[in-house]
Amino acid sequence: MSEMKPSPNAVYIVGIGLTQVAEHWERSLRELALEAIQAARAESPTLQPEALYVANMLSVSLSAQAQLGALLADFAGLRGIEACTVEAAGASGGAALRQAYLALRSGACQAALVVGAEKVSDKVSAEIEAALATASDADFESVQGITAAALAALLMRRYLNETQAPPDALAGFSLNAHANAAANPYAMFRRPIKKEAYARAAMLSEPVSILDAAPVADGAAALLLARGDALPEGSVLPPIRIAASTIAVTAPAIHDRPDPLFLTAAAEAAHRAYQQAGLSAEEVDLFELHDVFTIYAALALEAAGFAARGEGWRLAQDGAIGREGKIPICTFGGSKGRGDTAGATGVYQAAEVVMQLQGRAGENQVRDARIGMAQCLGGSGATAATHILIRDDGL
């Protein structure tokens, strides 16, 4: 390995912080966010962040709290810095990371924090369903009583019909997620599930069962970023370079998309990311994708070029998505096993990729992982934020 110098205006992740995803009855949004921020800062304690980007979707509707930028900066002892919320529904985490990346890349600041935080457990089910449905087109989808599960079900039923895949074609995504979550101390579910359990699972919205869906829960995750010319000295952990950062969008309503079974925003964001990083899908060692419902895992694999149209489900049949497989996904359990933290998801994903690339994933370690991708989706795929992270040798 040759000694490499960090590129001055490249952007690196130099700290991560995670809280366990759970129903944290006793803890508030700001307390969860603080725990994550402090953990991330502890990994590069000499670095002083100049900005804080908050990823959140549900705080306004469920906690009557806007202005999380100010709230969380203040609570974290960071009064005076630049801070604001970035919202793109389930893609908020990736979108916030992208804003931090742009700020650093431009040289507007040297170090910045990203924190994703959600608090849902204070509310009852109908209110949570309504809050999650705000990701949809309010006037033409939500007014019809649509839910996040129903949208996934509409896509899943059509997908199974068009591909003629068996009814349990997507089971492998759920099994893989739960198997990987078992060793993740931050996951909500720590028990693997069996294929028979998937077949027996209660229906949420046919054909989506509770084992196709990630339950929403509370959680916060944080990232500390620095420019190459501001990397702290003497870090034990190698800095992880953000080699690509992209966002692409399409119509929020499924009915407005010419081909509902192809996630164009996800495809656009992924392919732009490959271009930015100068690599191809085959070179990606692991992919933290959007699996809030199993159907999105299949569609995301197809969109990002890991499977042909209508073939994404096959990757879940033969171990290709497992830790030893061709393209490991959801290596810490994804949203299915970790728990769905809505706007915070993209920050969890990026932190998990960092752990893989730094070789500290424990039992979940993907061998020789050097290039990792993370992609989170807003709603039924209207927004896609994609990041490719690389561990440069010799840094």
Q: Which residues contact other proteins by CB under 8 A?
A: 125-127, 129-130, 133, 139-147, 149-150, 153-155, 157-158, 161, 203-208, 251, 253-256, 260
Nearer to other proteins, 158 or 272 (CB): 158
What's the length of the chain? Answer: 395
Q: Shortest gap between Cβ of 63 and other proteins (angstroms)?
A: 16
Nearer to other proteins, 17 or 207 (CB): 207
Compute the least distance from the CB of residue 33 to other proteins, in Å.
Answer: 26
- Shortest reach from residue 139's CB to other proteins, in Å: 6
Residue 27 or residue 123: which is nearer to other proteins going by CB?
Answer: 123
> In whole angstroms, what separates CA 195 from the centre of its chain?
25
Nearer to other proteins among residue 122 and residue 129 (C-beta)? 129
Whole-angstrom CA distances from 314 to 165, 267, 303, 307 are 9, 19, 14, 8
**393 vs 395: CA distance, rounded Å:** 6
Q: How many whole angstroms separate alpha carbon 78 and alpha carbon 86?
A: 18
* Alpha-carbon gap, residue 306 to 67, rounded angstroms: 39
CA distances (Å), origin 77, targets 50, 144, 220, 221: 12, 44, 17, 17
Distance CA 301, CA 75 (A): 39
Residue closer to other proteins by CB (options 22, 251) is 251
Taking the complex as a whole, the smallest distance from the CB of residue 196 to other proteins amounts, in Å, to 23
Closest approach, Cβ 151 to other proteins, in A, equals 8
- Tell me the closest approach of the beta carbon of residue 98 to other proteins, in angstroms: 25
Q: How far is the CB of 204 from other proteins (least distance, A)?
A: 7
Q: How far is the CB of 118 from other proteins (least distance, A)?
A: 18
Our CB check for other proteins shows the closer of 260 and 346 to be: 260
Tokens 């869906």 -> residue: 213
Pair 210, 197: CB distance under 8 Å: no
Q: Which residue, 113 or 160, is less far from other proteins as judged by CB?
A: 160
Query: Which of 17/339 has CB closer to other proteins?
Result: 339
- The residues, any chain, with a CB within 8 Å of residue 48's CB and separated by 6 or more, are 111
Radius of gyration of the chain (CA): 19
The DSSP secondary-structure symbol of 293 reads B
Residue-wise DSSP of 62-125? HH----HHHHHHHHTT-TTSEEEEE-BTBTHHHHHHHHHHHHHHTTS-SEEEEEEEE--TTS-H
Two tokens at 365? 């370690």
Q: Nearest distance from residue 136's CB to other proteins, in Å?
A: 9
| 219: helix, strand or coil | strand
Residue number with CB closer to other proteins (140 or 367): 140
Whichever of 254 and 382 has its CB closer to other proteins, that residue is 254
Helical segments of the chain, H only: 29-42, 59-63, 68-75, 92-105, 125-132, 148-163, 171-181, 195-200, 264-277, 294-303, 334-338, 345-357
How far apart are the C-alpha atoms of 273 and 341, rounded to whole Å? Answer: 24
Minimal distance, residue 394 CB to other proteins, in Å: 48
